[in-house]
Chains A and B, each alone.
Chain A
Amino acid sequence: MLDDFFVRALVAGVGLAVVTGPLGCFIVWRRMAYFGDTMSHSALLGVALAFLFDINLILGVFLVAAMVSVALLLLQRRGALSTDALLGILSHSTLALGLVMVAFMTWVRIDLMGFLFGDILAVSRPDILVIYAGGALILGLLIWMWRPLLAATVSSELAEAEGMRPEVSRVALMLLMACVIAIAMKIVGILLITALLIIPAATARRFAATPEQMAVTASVLGAAAVVGGLFGSLRFDTPSGPSIVVAALAFFLLSLLYGGRLKARLTASNGSST
């Protein structure tokens, strides 16, 4: 079954979407969208460094993304510039550094477009193994840390007062995000990873009453966007990564139209039952 490149793309994409759903919810809840963007932009620097030092690509991307998040934490603590400005500096300078370094390395041929926009149709069996193993690890950690992560998201002071460690939750979340970016880069590309994290989560908000419902709905919607986008790209001969994001956007727009009505109906039925 995995002999067909299209089936491999579907399996890999769905596997990734299941992980980006819950993680994307945290990014939306904590207003970290721009932060996610910055981390994924830094992935290109990771790619360049991985080629330079001849280390594993995924490891290189993970390390650089993690380093960028630590750098942000330290810079935030100094408090000289706003987080917004810091993110802008880190995001574009790491992307530019990566591009410049790649240009210097004339001895390696790098498919730049593949890294920027993803090449899901080129996914191999080992890639699928990495996505599912990494994804299972990330999901497992998320479920294990769910309560403290959520409490820290609602109020870090409250969580800390009641014996939790919100600072640990925060760092854990950043590392999980670095991990997701590392394994997702090959599929949707570093410029579109944040879209797969945020759009399904934002869409799910309209259909959920609890954080857990929202996380599961985001996974399902993300998987649907992958399937829809891939079939769309096959049918219309469009690039696969962007097609997935367009499909996710279509779901989001539909949710704007129908989500409101659904909610009105739900509150109406709640009102009549009480």
Chain B
Amino acid sequence: MAQAAATSKTLVEAKGIGLRRSGRWLVSGVDLAVKAGEIVTLIGPNGSGKSTTAKITIGIQKPDSGQVTRAKGLRIGYVPQKLTIDWTLPLTVTRLMTLTGRYSTSEVTQALEEVGIAHLAQAEVQHLSGGEFQRALLARAMIGKPDLLVLDEPVQSVDFAGEVALYNLIREIRDRTNCGILLISHDLHVVMAETDTVVCLNGHVCCRGTPESVVASPEYLQLFGSRAAETLAVYRHHHDHTHLPDGRVQRADGVILGDGHAHGDHAHCDHSHQILCEPNTLPEAEAGAKSLPESVAEDQTRESEAANAR
């Protein structure tokens, strides 16, 4: 898929974008490109600027530095991270589907069937559960057959089994329509195997790459079966540097990089990160083996969470 994407059309390209608020760079020096048929996943901790980066990329936030080039006539489907619909606004799921465009009843039904909530077509959106609402938003974003789907934490408040189904669906949409997908996840460990590029963000691009191998623990296989294991990859990312409270970056060897996040300095910053990140991301198997106990503990947490959800 990576090869296919390399030859296809670039939908959107951001170069060195940054956003400054109250004297602090929320994000800086971020390069990002999404091509048709490509899935790019932004991961990073809370407040690392994932949503901001996505908003700048699709043009609903103006960057303070850098620039964004979008393909002409680009159709975007967007699932925002937060969307609360006031109780005073009566809105059924069906009506939500035609919010930004006109679609036939059969198109609406098909979109709802694909995300598995066709039975909720006449329900009021305020009465949906968190997971059902996310599915409705996903159906709404994809109904217009966009060139670029931007999904900001599309699986939030969806239980783990549902997450697998939704990631499957997102991949299917990409395969069928050859749209580009910009996916945001705060989950550092679980991203899609089909992701072509993972961009790890923490105010700046910490590192980026292809999730090379699928790590599957026995517990995980037992819970979701081998089919699910084919879908989900555990992408391990070891931070080799610490973010100091004042925004500077401290490397593992104790060296503090000056104003690493300032945008004038980002060439230097990128350079040092490439050196630091790559040796750690390449030997996946070794890294995976080392941290197996940690991943077991994680899967058990997952398991109990999934049990709670049921």
Q: Which residues of A contact B (CB under 8 A)?
A: 28-29, 31, 147, 150-151, 153-155, 157-164, 202, 205, 208-211, 213-214, 270, 274
Q: Contact: B76 with A163, CB < 8 Å?
A: yes
- Tell me if B90 and A157 are in contact (CB < 8 A): no
The answer to whether B34 has its CB under 8 Å from any CB of chain A is: no
Contact of B88 with A162 in the complex, beta carbons under 8 Å: no
Size range of the chain B interface in the assembly: 20 to 34
Contact A162 B78 (CB under 8 A): yes
Known A151-B99, A153-B89, A211-B95; judge A158-B83 contact (CB<8 A).
Answer: yes
Known: A151-B100, A161-B58, A161-B76. 11 other contacts (CB 8 A): A28-B88, A151-B99, A153-B89, A157-B55, A157-B80, A161-B60, A162-B76, A162-B144, A202-B88, A209-B90, A214-B90
Known interface pairs A157-B60, A157-B80. Does A31 touch B86 (Cβ–Cβ under 8 Å)?
yes
Q: How far is the CA of A115 from the CA of B212 in the complex (A)?
A: 74
Q: Is the CB of B100 within 8 A of A147?
A: yes
Chain B residue at smallest Cβ distance from A159: B100
Do B76 and A210 have beta carbons less than 8 Å apart?
no
Q: Mark B6-43, 1 if CB is under 8 A from A, else 0.
A: 00000000000000000000000000000000000000
Please tell me if the beta carbons of A163 and B88 are within 8 angstroms of each other in the complex: no
B224 → chain A closest CB, angstroms: 30
In the complex, residue of chain B having the shortest beta-carbon distance to the beta carbon of A206: B90
Look across to chain B and name the residue whose beta carbon is closest to the beta carbon of A156: B60
Residue of B nearest to A274 (CB): B119
- B204–chain A nearest beta-carbon distance, Å: 24
Closest 5 CB pairs of A and B: A161-B78, A162-B100, A160-B60, A208-B90, A29-B89
B 82-120 to A, binary, CB cutoff 8 A, 1 in contact else 0:
010110111110010001111000000000000000010
Contact B100 A211 (CB under 8 A): no
The one of A157, A202, A209, A213 in contact with B124, judged by C-beta atoms closer than 8 angstroms, is A209
- Which residues does B use to contact A, with CB under 8 Å? 55, 58-60, 75-78, 80, 83, 85-86, 88-92, 95, 99-102, 119, 122, 124, 144, 146, 150
Establish whether residues A210 and B78, one from each chain, have CB atoms under 8 Å apart when the complex forms: no
Of the residues B78, B101, B146, contact of A157 by C-beta under 8 Å: B78
Query: CA–CA, A158 to B60, complex, Å?
Result: 9
Given contacts A160-B59, A161-B76, A209-B124, contact A154 B85 (CB under 8 A): yes
CA A237 to CA B59, docked complex, whole Å: 59
Inside 8 A of A29's CB, which chain B residues have their CB? 86, 88-89
Can you report 25 residue pairs joining A to B where beta carbons are below 8 Å apart? A29-B86, A29-B88, A147-B101, A151-B100, A154-B85, A154-B91, A157-B55, A160-B59, A161-B58, A161-B76, A161-B78, A161-B150, A162-B75, A162-B78, A162-B100, A162-B101, A163-B75, A163-B76, A164-B100, A209-B92, A210-B90, A210-B91, A211-B90, A211-B91, A270-B122
Shortest distance between the CB of B179 and any CB in chain A (Å): 14
Tell me what chain A mostly uses at the interface: helix, strand, loop, or mixed: helix
B88 and A205 within 8 A (CB): yes
Verify A213–B90 contact, CB threshold 8 A.
yes
What are the residues of chain A within 8 A of B89 when measuring CB–CB? 29, 153-154, 211
| A214, closest chain B residue (CB) | B90
CA distance A270 to B86 in the complex (A): 23
Name which residue of chain A comes closest to B137, CB basis.
A158
Contacts of A209 in B (CB 8 A): 90, 92, 122, 124
Question: What is the CA–CA distance of A151 and B102 in the complex, to the nearest angstrom?
Answer: 12
CB-nearest residue of chain A relative to B119? A274
Question: How far, in whole Å, are A245 and B35 apart by their CA atoms in the complex?
Answer: 58
Complex: chain A residue closest to B120, CB-CB: A274
Instruction: Specify the chain B residue showing the minimal Cβ separation from A160.
Output: B60
Cα–Cα distance between A7 and B102 once the two chains are bound (Å): 42
Complex CA–CA separation, A205 to B60 (angstroms):
31
- Measured between alpha carbons, how far is A86 from B86 in the docked complex, in Å? 23
Question: B95–A210 contact, CB under 8 A?
Answer: yes
Chain A residue nearest in CB terms to B88: A28
Instruction: Give chain B nearest CB distance to A142 CB in angstroms.
Output: 16
Bound: A153/B86 CA distance, A: 9
CB neighbours (8 Å) of A162 from chain B are 75-78, 100-101, 144, 146
Q: Report chain A residues within 8 Å CB of B88.
A: 28-29, 202, 205
CB < 8 Å: which of A147, A154, A161, A210 contacts B92? A210
Please indicate the chain A residues that have their CB under 8 angstroms from the CB of B146 in the complex. 162
A22–B101 alpha-carbon span in the complex (Å):
20
A214 to B95, CA, bound (A): 13
User: Quick check: A158 and B95 within 8 Å, CB to CB?
Assistant: no
- The answer to whether A155 touches B90 (Cβ under 8 A) is no
State the Cβ distance, A172 to closest chain B Cβ, in Å. Answer: 17
Residues of B close to A31: CB separation below 8 A: 86
Task: Report the bound CA distance from A213 to B91 in whole Å.
Answer: 10
CA distance in complex: A28, B58 (Å): 30
- Select from chain A the residue with minimum beta-carbon distance to B95: A210
Which of A158, A161, A202, A210 has a CB less than 8 Å from the CB of B59? A161
